[in-house]
Copies of this chain bind each other. A is one copy, B any other.
């Protein structure tokens, strides 16, 4: 879990335990009893802090998507105005977030379908804002003739796919550091959009 967003006490322990179990066994494969046992609270204490098991999942997924959007915004703000640098900054932040908070990213994307449509709707808004950030950068790069990319929408799908899947295969000790993966995938993103060399 990203630092600072986790409530203290039983509520925070429940979220942490639920995240780990949802990532391992899936939402449907995890019981409220499992979560409470892992959080070391009584089997019914979850209902003191959340109305239902689904609300626990919703909170985790919301935290996941908001954390990603926050990091993408931060990266874009700190980048030089050159679309190439902006794309590199976005991809690096995207990949790092997925490697460093792999379980959160997995649950946030794989279990979104388990939420009711009403619960998922505001989360989809956050997710759409993140896509918008990247689309604006790519379109500006094309307009400035710095990118040679006939299918920008598919290019974005491809680039975000690389980062999303990293949450599944990346593990500390897999032979790469998150920074190496982020740097390499940022280079791949530049190749995909057909970025001109800087010099």
Contacts and interface: CB of A to CB of B under 8 A. Distances in A.
Interface residues of A, number: 32
Query: How many copies are assembled?
Result: 2
Contacts of A188: 154-155, 158, 192
A164 B151 CA distance: 19
Interface stretch (A5-13, A26-34, A44-52): A26-34
Given A24-B113, A26-B27, A114-B29, A157 B161 contact: no
Given A165-B164, A192-B192, A26 B155 contact: no
Contact of A158 (B26, B157, B185): B185
A111 B151 CA distance: 31
A140 interface: no
Given A26-B113, A154-B176, A158-B162, 20 more contacts: A24-B113, A25-B113, A26-B26, A26-B28, A27-B28, A27-B29, A28-B28, A28-B29, A110-B110, A154-B185, A154-B188, A157-B166, A158-B185, A160-B165, A161-B161, A161-B164, A161-B165, A165-B165, A191-B192, A191-B194
A184 interface: yes
Contacts of A150: 184
A181 interface: yes
